[in-house]
Chain A
Amino acid sequence: MNEAVKTSAAVSEGAHVAHPHEQAHEHHHETFVSKYIFSMDHKTIGKQFLITGIVWAIIGGLFSVLFRLQLGYPEESFPILETFFGEWAKGGQIQPEFYYGLVTIHGTVLVFFVLTAGLSGTFANLLIPLQVGARDMASPFLNMLSYWFFFLAGVVMLSSIFVHTGPASGGWTMYPPLSALRQAGDGQKLGADLWLISMSLFIISSLLGGLNYIATILNMRTKGMSMTRLPLPIWAMFFTAVLGVLSFPVLLSGAILLLFDRNLGTSFYLSDIVVNGEILPNEGGSAILYQHLFWFLGHPEVYIILLPAMGMVSEILSVNSRKPIFGYMAMLGSLFAICILAFLVWAHHMFVTGLNPFLGSVFVLLTLLIAVPSAIKVFNWITTIWRGNIRFTPATLFAIGFVSLFISGGLTGIFLGNSTIDIHLHDTMFVVAHFHIVMGVASFFGMFAGVYHWFPKMFGRYLNNTMAYMHFWVTMIGSYLIFWPMHYQGLAGVPRRYLDKRGWVSFNDFADLDKMITVVSIVVFAAQLLFVFNFFYSIFKGRKVRTANPWGANTLEWTTPIRPGHGNWEGDIPEVHRWPYDYGKDGREFIPQTEPVGAQETKSH
């Protein structure tokens, strides 16, 4: 056992933590099943999360194309839909209940399965041990369980799509009483139970993963890797995991109470209900209670999605500008501030629920406060590329796109966080545009940046650049074309989740825009398929990586062999002597973290 592992084992005060590493050292015999399926190697688990996430992203994206067809062409009929979906698309037209099923599953899948599990799961697993200098996660077994609980959650969710009465259709927020009452709609029957079970499994997965990430980052850093020498993605994953561990249990309680209301006759959320002519006995519950429980997770969730993207973007911009990240400590401080404030703003989703106006005003203050650390991050990213020497790898482009989208979407948050304006904009297309830009597309950009940047580490090959650039430009232009004009619909008050606006005098003014958005979203979806193709093609046929450090980066993952085995480093774990952002220092392009500080070196950081 080498020096570094000894140190980290000593820190974590338990020889059992170091145990798996010793095994890994001996290159134990691996079968196909133990290597690729029930693998405990953090890199393989990361890839499993990524590939599962990709599958879900395709499903979620396809669903959005389907409901965009309805939104863009409400008068038209598409016989092909009837071929595939039968009575849900009777006469080639998407039926309302199915439409709401589509939006619900689209939202749930993309928020939780893709941008939480697919993003955090992939990169926390891949990067934490590699960048802190550990042979694996603190508990590889829990890590494996985390993936398989996620997989199980996916199976349950997928099965709900094939239920006769359709999947859950109460929106991704699943507000009761709608989601609690079977009488309220077809999607509220079996589909809603499956949704709740699936989410509960998902929460378990995310807790197992999160605890592991925190334990690994705190206990298993290699020698010399002090907390302030951690690369920013690791800090971001750390705060992400903290957010998840503290807030997901609250959603779990919300979901379980809802299951009770649905199946055991309790009245946590139900009171004074006459549904479909039937008077229910429930009295004394509060429908708003669920919203508090939901958004106590729901808002941190936004940052659970965003922070890993922010961390990776910081790293990628710095590496490819050949320049240190500007204001490492400020970046860290703002991550911390966002993490704290994320817990204190949830009720800004509930300004018009009848919330006490005074309470509302407190949440306005806290919500707009969160714009300050966000602004610091934006200015620091911009200063990072200022006077750099920028290489526009596909990852860099996606990182720049991320910053651009984060600005655009972040600024519209200032509208919505202000309760006065929110009265008008709440639950309109403005909200849809806002969160798709800032949370959806921006995080996807962070994720793409990460995939393009670390693909060589994952598979020892590069993605095809031509397809990558096409993917970027179509997605970048398309995202703005889809979501920028959508704000105008919102300003006009067009409510969300209206599948046909022709019956309205006030909202029927945007038929041309809806058509345009639909066409562009199909094109953008096709570009994502191009990426998926590129991804799988390049795993097997991509250009081979021939140098250990293809981007000239400082962090530890590039000191491993090109295709690292279980245990990551063949010899000892390297020792760290400096922070990870010594780019362009003293006339040298980059100085890896493993290089001792020279006697003549300028002092900094």
Chain B
Amino acid sequence: MQAFLIIAILVLAFVIIFQISKASEYVAVLRGWERTRKQTNRINAFMLLAFLVLGLIGVYLCNEKFKGRILGEPASDHGELVDQMLYVTLAVTFVVFLITQIALFWFAYKYQESDDRKAYFYPHNNTLELIWTVIPAIALTVLVGFGIVYWFRITGEAPKDAMQVEVVGKQFGWEFRYPGADGILGKKYFKNVDPVNGNPAGQIWEDSTNKDDVFVEQEMHLVVGKPVKLVIGAKDVIHDVGLVHFRMKMDAVPGTPTTMWFTPKYTTKQMKEKTGNPDFVYELSCDQMCGRGHWSMRGVVVVETQEEFDAWLASKKPQYLVANPDKDPANKKEAPAASTKDVVIN
């Protein structure tokens, strides 16, 4: 009902606007087309100026309203570089924005049609054109220079002491694998994927480096102040590991592993205090369209101290033992007990 009401109002507004428009054309013809045209010209020139002034005020107010909601301090070392680059670019472009927009609208207003003015025949001026080719070129060279230096720092090789975590995206969730004590992620093959039998990552059990790898879902744990290298993959379609607070992002592509590394600066606890938000968590978002659940493909990143991390990892059973319960020493303890029982029966 409400919808029909809105549509009725819209149609009515249309009819009214149409009638006014038609009538104003008749009036214009009656009053003399030229006179009306000149009046409209003045009104529009004024509106352009008003648009500039109100627009700039709007830009200011918009910034006041929203500046607190863009993600404050970056939570990684790379994030600092990204933000620095962003603010430098913002400063440069905002100056250009102001100069060009003000010139555009001010000239439009100032040089509106008037009977006393003749347009100035000014087809070209090589000096001027050279100036505004060279200045943007220099400004952009500076931005490119900074950008590329930062880019190489961010995408360069991860430090040797970085911990490794494998991140795999699938419709619609995240899987993580930790290399365990040997620090090496075991080999895997997609045709081995078999979640029912405890092998969701497709690990090759013959590879001994796989034996201590820990597999978890939806929640990734990282150590504060310790560089981490993510080895990223996907099972089905392209996903993207988006870590807003760390300002990091990397596609997860099936068949082509990618990597990224960074150093988290604050623990989740510290961030709760910093943001004053007790519900704060680092979130891992999928930033590449991946199907109907794309918008809800959320993971959580917990940044904690080394001790907390070690305790957490120790509480997890290596996936090899989950998949092969007969090899699990925890089960073996019972096994000898069973065998003694057997002996008794015998």
Contact = CB atoms under 8 A, between A and B. Distances in A.
A418 B143 contact: yes
A427 B111 contact: no
Contacts, number: 380
Given A184-B237, A352-B249, A504 B293 contact: no
Interface string A471-485: 001001100100011
B237 to A, nearest CB: 4
Contacts of A587: 118
A252 B86 CA distance: 37
B340 interface: no
A423 interface: yes
Which of B101, B202, B247, B287 neighbours the largest number of chain A CB atoms within 10 Å of its CB? B287
B253 interface: yes
A582 to B, nearest CB: 8
A407 B147 contact: no
B93 A412 contact: yes
Interface string A512-544: 010000000000001001100110010000010
A485 B295 contact: no
Contact of B24 (A381, A414, A466): A466
Interface stretch (A139-147, A215-223, A363-371): A363-371
A323 B121 contact: yes
B133 A354 contact: no
Given A275-B236, A288-B253, A288-B256, A533 B18 contact: yes
A273 B112 contact: no
11 contacts: A329-B124, A352-B250, A376-B133, A389-B111, A407-B97, A465-B21, A467-B17, A467-B18, A504-B285, A506-B285, A533-B18
Contacts of B71: 491-493, 506
B8 to A, nearest CB: 13
B296 A503 contact: yes
A392 B62 contact: no
A415 B253 CA distance: 25
Interface of A: 78-80, 96-97, 100, 169-171, 175-178, 181, 184-186, 188, 270-277, 279, 283, 285-288, 321-330, 352-354, 357, 360-361, 364-365, 368-369, 371-372, 375-376, 378-383, 385-392, 397, 400, 403-404, 407-408, 411-412, 414-415, 418-421, 423-424, 426-428, 464-467, 469-470, 473, 476-477, 480, 484-485, 488, 491-493, 495-501, 503-507, 509-510, 513, 526, 529-530, 533-534, 537, 543, 581, 583-587, 604-605
B336 interface: no
A196 B111 CA distance: 50
A416 to B, nearest CB: 10
B14 interface: yes
B287 A427 contact: yes
A485 B107 contact: no
Interface stretch (B150-158, B206-214, B317-325): B150-158
Given A178-B238, A326-B123, A464-B21, A386 B111 contact: yes
A106 to B, nearest CB: 13
B114 interface: yes
Contact of B120 (A387, A488, A504): A387
Which of A80, A360, A414, A488 neighbours the largest number of chain B CB atoms within 10 Å of its CB? A414
A361 B289 CA distance: 25
A382 B99 CA distance: 11
A413 to B, nearest CB: 9
B147 to A, nearest CB: 4
B245 A506 contact: yes
A271 B154 CA distance: 28
A28 B286 CA distance: 62
B290 A321 contact: no
Interface stretch (B43-51, B159-167, B215-223, B303-311): B43-51
Interface in B35-77: 37, 40-41, 44-45, 47-48, 51, 55, 58-59, 62, 66-67, 69-71
Contacts of B41: 391-392
